[in-house]
């Protein structure tokens, strides 16, 4: 039994849009991390940062172009059989044969995983899906399908459970229920989670891997370390009376993030918090604002903000005003070449 349950070393993955010509696109760029037993990792980053591809490499669906990873001491390239015995990937991409019942579906997956169907019953009971055992999956909602995926993943009793946005289609009540189940009942399993919900990361993960677009690592560390390293110690959550434009938000002079109708500002110390509040009073168009110390939730959003920082350098066409991806020097809409 290896000391580290996961050791990923400089993993690189590129995909070619056309197999026989053209440039390869780098999806993952030298990602490394280690996990001790019972540690849990959250992989966070904007769309296109290679989170799901990284999970699929760890799950042995894809082969890395260079670098490798050890799962419980077994190499994901050379010892695929051993690795596959230890992992279970729960992906939203997994759909089902709609004409089969829940029980038939679980039976099939139990047989191929060499597990037992009743190992899923505890979870189904907890999530209230047992009465649906004999119903066909064509009658299931997206949330119920998500639960079915997780039941299949848990049925295998893996050492490492790879969860790819399993919470995405769940309503608040179900999400809370599921987090609690994973907190209370899933012991001794290493979780590697890709998710956009900060409360999922906060409650289920001890470590974070922050990725940025292009698949490179922005930050890696324990939640506490990342918390310590953050230059921002307070946040101010403001609820404006009406829509607050980018210009106005930027005018306050502090990093911010929009979340629905709210704007979350980040400040480094009490002086900056006082300054920001004073400016808010001057603007006088807030329903409310609330100051608090930076929480795990803030760390999550700050990291997202940081990884999206490059987006701030985005360009617009001087001819037609259309957005131009930062890697291009011409407009996709009107073909105008930028200087």
Partner 1 sequence: MGYFKTLNACTWRYLKIDWRYKFSIVTDAIWTMVTVVAFGTLGYAAGQGNENFVKYQGTNAFIWILVTGIFYWTFFSRPFEESVLAVPEEAARGTLGFLVTNQVSPATMLTGRMVSSVFKFTIIAAAVVYPVMYVLDLRIPPEYLLEIFLILFISMFFMLALVFIVSALTLIVKKIGVIINIFLHSSRILSGFYFPLSNGKESEFGPVAMWIENYLPIARGLVMIRDIVIPEDKGGGISHTAVWEGLEWMLIGTVIALVFAFIFIAKITDLSRKWGTLEFY
Stretch that binds partner 1, among 102-110, 118-126, 201-209, 317-325 (CB under 8 A): 102-110
Report which DSSP code applies to 241: S
> Of 166, 168, 185, 210, nearest to 54 (Cα)?
210
**Percent helix, percent strand, percent coil in the chain, to nearest 5:** 35, 30, 35
Q: Which is nearer to partner 1, 16 or 180 (CB)?
A: 16
Under the binding rule (CB under 8 A), the answer on residue 312 touching partner 1 is no
Q: How far is the CB of 97 from partner 1 (least distance, A)?
A: 5
Under the binding rule (CB under 8 A), the answer on residue 1 touching partner 1 is no
What whole-number distance in Å separates Cα of residue 170 and Cα of residue 184? 19
**Start-to-end C-alpha separation, the chain:** 59
- The two structure tokens encoding residue 276: 């920001």
Under the binding rule (CB under 8 A), the answer on residue 16 touching partner 1 is yes
Under the binding rule (CB under 8 A), the answer on residue 198 touching partner 1 is no
Under the binding rule (CB under 8 A), the answer on residue 306 touching partner 1 is no
Please count the other Cβ atoms lying within 10 Å of the Cβ belonging to residue 326: 13
Under the binding rule (CB under 8 A), the answer on residue 15 touching partner 1 is yes
Under the binding rule (CB under 8 A), the answer on residue 89 touching partner 1 is yes
Q: How far is the CB of 150 from partner 1 (least distance, A)?
A: 13
- Exposed e or buried b for every residue in 198-214, given b needs 16+ CB within 10 A? bbbbbebbebbbbbbbb
Q: Which is nearer to partner 1, 40 or 91 (CB)?
A: 91
Under the binding rule (CB under 8 A), the answer on residue 145 touching partner 1 is no
Residues in contact with partner 1, shown as a per-residue x/- string from 17 to 56 under the rule CB under 8 A: --x---------------------------------x--x
Instruction: Count interface residues toward partner 1 (CB under 8 A).
Output: 35
Stretch that binds partner 1, among 39-47, 107-115, 218-226, 283-291 (CB under 8 A): 107-115
Under the binding rule (CB under 8 A), the answer on residue 63 touching partner 1 is yes
Ranges of beta strands (E only) in the chain are: 4-15, 25-36, 41-44, 66-71, 74-75, 87-90, 160-164, 190-194, 207-212, 216-222, 234-240, 256-259, 262-267, 286-293, 315-316, 323-324
Under the binding rule (CB under 8 A), the answer on residue 95 touching partner 1 is yes
State the pairing for strand pair 190-194/160-164: parallel
Please count the other Cβ atoms lying within 10 Å of the Cβ belonging to residue 18: 8
Q: How far is the CB of 158 from partner 1 (least distance, A)?
A: 10
What whole-number distance in Å separates Cα of residue 77 and Cα of residue 178? 33
What whole-number distance in Å separates Cα of residue 287 and Cα of residue 165? 33
CA-CA-CA-CA torsion for 44, 48, 50, 56, nearest 10 degrees?
110
Under the binding rule (CB under 8 A), the answer on residue 68 touching partner 1 is no
Q: How far is the CB of 165 from partner 1 (least distance, A)?
A: 13
According to CB under 8 A, which one of 84, 175, 197, 207 is a site residue for partner 1?
84
Q: How far is the CB of 141 from partner 1 (least distance, A)?
A: 18
According to CB under 8 A, which one of 3, 38, 93, 250 is a site residue for partner 1?
93
Q: Contact positions toward partner 1, by CB under 8 A?
A: 13, 15-16, 19, 53, 56, 59-63, 65, 81, 84-85, 87-89, 91, 93-97, 99-100, 104, 107-109, 111-114, 156
């Amino acid at each position: 039994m290896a000391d580290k349950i996961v050791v990923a070393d400089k993993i690189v993955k590129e995909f070619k849009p056309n197999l026989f010509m053209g440039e390869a696109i780098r999806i993952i760029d030298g990602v490394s991390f280690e996990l001790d037993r019972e540690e849990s990792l959250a992989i966070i980053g904007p769309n296109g940062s290679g989170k799901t591809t990284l999970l699929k490499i760890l799950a042995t669906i894809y082969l890395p172009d260079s670098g490798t990873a050890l799962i419980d001491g077994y190499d994901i390239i050379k010892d695929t059989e051993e690795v596959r015995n230890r992992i279970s990937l729960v992906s939203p991409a997994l759909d089902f044969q709609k004409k089969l019942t829940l029980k038939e579906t679980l039976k099939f997956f139990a047989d191929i995983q060499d597990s037992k169907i009743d190992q899923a019953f505890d979870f189904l009971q907890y999530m209230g899906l047992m009465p649906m055992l004999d119903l066909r999956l064509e009658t299931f909602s997206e949330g119920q399908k998500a639960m079915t995926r997780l039941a299949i993943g848990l049925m295998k009793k893996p050492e490492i459970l790879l969860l790819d946005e399993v919470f995405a289609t769940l309503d608040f009540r179900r999400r809370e229920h599921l987090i609690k189940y994973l907190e209370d009942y899933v012991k001794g399993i290493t979780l590697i989670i890709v998710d956009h919900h900060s409360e999922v990361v906060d409650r289920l993960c001890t470590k974070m891997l922050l990725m940025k677009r292009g698949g490179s690592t922005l930050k890696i560390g324990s939640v506490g370390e990342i918390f310590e390293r953050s230059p921002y110690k307070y946040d101010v959550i403001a609820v404006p009376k009406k829509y607050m434009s980018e210009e106005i938000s930027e005018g306050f002079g502090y990093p911010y993030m929009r979340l629905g109708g709210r704007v979350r500002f980040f400040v480094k110390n009490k002086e900056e918090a006082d300054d920001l509040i004073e400016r808010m009073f001057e603007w006088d168009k807030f329903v409310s604002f609330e100051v608090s110390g930076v929480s795990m939730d803030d760390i999550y959003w700050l990291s997202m903000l940081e990884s999206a920082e490059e987006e701030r350098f985005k360009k617009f066409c001087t001819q037609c005003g259309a957005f131009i991806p930062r890697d291009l020097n011409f407009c996709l809409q009107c073909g105008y070449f930028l200087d």
